Amino acid sequence: MAGSPASAGFGAGFRAMLPLWIGVVPFAAAYAVSARAAGLDPLHAQLMSLLVFAGGAQFAAVGLIAAGAGPWTLISTTFLLNLRHLLYGMVVARTTELRGARRLLAAHLLTDEAFGVHVAHGRGRPAFLVGAGLSLFVIWNAATLAGLVLARSLPDPQAIGLDIVFPLAFLALLVPLVRGGRTLLVASVAGLGAWGLGAVLEPGAALLLATVVAAGLGAVASAGPREAP
Amino acid sequence: MTTLTWTILAMAAVTFGVRLWGLTLPGTRLRGIGRRFLDHVPVAVFAALVAGGLPGSDAVDGAWRFAAAVVTALVAVRAGGLGPGLLLGLVLYLGARALGWA
């Protein structure tokens, strides 16, 4: 694939995700352990990682299954938690042309992390997005499988502090994008909003609402003299 | 197929559908406030993800997590890229935990 214009950036995208693997491995393994504890058989636990491929929604589903929730609760919760991906897709589509099979592949691989590294380092390069997404897909599923095999001997990632990988990674992606008063305002409103709303709403809903309010505020504030977003 | 299999397939369908919907919408043709809104989405999303995941289990743990975030942000400004800042912030926080400070 290397060298062809259509695939330019695939390797770069794949490699850009590698620093996040250290955080992804314990969480995927923890998902597998939680799934087994909730009563899912290994086949269904792995199937969810392969087909749904959305960490937050998978953890939520496992919790709901453990609580005895029905199919419609699982499906509607998944929809709500992943609604922010609609915004990710719209942002990606503005700068990166995706067609045919590559668009379908990107749609399956578009996660928080893939969106983050693509916006920061891969705008305009569809292969970069696919590479980043596939990198996460491979490690998420491999670590799910490892978690299913080693279920009883794995520590909780939060108990050993590795849950901090994700906020630190998104902070490292955020900082270079804050280039003036308006972006600082947007970041502050989104951060405070997500923190405050997180106490009363599902994490995915809190994130979506905080994002929409903050980006909307930024859009209104940007109606005046131009400032790079 | 079992009910659980169908449920997982439906979960996959709604997730895929939402992602594909966003990628298919004509965002490139947006003008005015719609375009400016999308311009600000990455900053808003990243800030919300940081704020949602950073708070610690107590004040001391939270202070060390905040310190790790400051280190990560400073290194990201100076060095750019994802790896160096993430690594140094992680080393600081896990080091503090290993020493029993966090």
What string of pLDDT tens digits covers the 229 residues of chain A?
445 555 669 999 999 999 999 888 988 988 898 888 888 999 999 999 999 999 888 988 888 888 788 898 889 888 988 888 998 999 999 889 888 999 999 999 999 999 999 998 888 899 999 999 999 999 999 999 999 998 777 777 778 888 888 889 889 889 988 988 999 999 999 999 999 998 898 777 888 899 999 999 999 998 765 554 4
Looking at residues B43-55, what average pLDDT do you find? 89
pLDDT at site A84: 86
Give A113's contacts in chain B (Cβ within 8 Å): none
pLDDT at B29: 65
Which chain B positions have a beta carbon within 8 Å of A40's beta carbon? 4
The alpha carbon of A25 is separated from its chain's Cα centroid by a whole number of angstroms, namely: 14
* More confident of the two residues B39 and A15: A15
Spatial neighbors of A42 by CB under 8 A, at least 6 apart, are A36, A148
Section B19-26 average pLDDT: 88
Res A73: pLDDT: 86
Rounded to 10 degrees, the C-alpha dihedral A163/A90/B76/A175 comes to: -100
Which chain B residue's Cα is nearest to A169? B86
Which sign does the torsion angle of CA A53, A107, B30, A126 carry?
Answer: positive
Inter-chain CB proximity A161 and B102 less than 8 Å: yes
The predicted model scores a pTM of 0.78
- Residues 6+ positions from B5 with CB-CB distance below 8 Å: A44, A47
* φ, ψ (nearest 5 deg) of residue A46: -70, -35
Region of B78 on the Ramachandran plot (φ > 0 left; ψ -120 to 50 alpha; else beta) = alpha
Of B22, B76, B89, the CB nearest to A88: B22
> Would you state the pLDDT for residue A130?
95
Residue of B93, B20, B41 lying closest to B63 (CA atoms):
B93
Select the residue of B42, B47, B55 nearest A91 (Cβ to Cβ). Answer: B42
Quick one: pLDDT at residue A201?
86
Is B35's pLDDT higher than 50?
A: yes
| Dihedral (CA of B74, A56, A135, A118) sign | negative
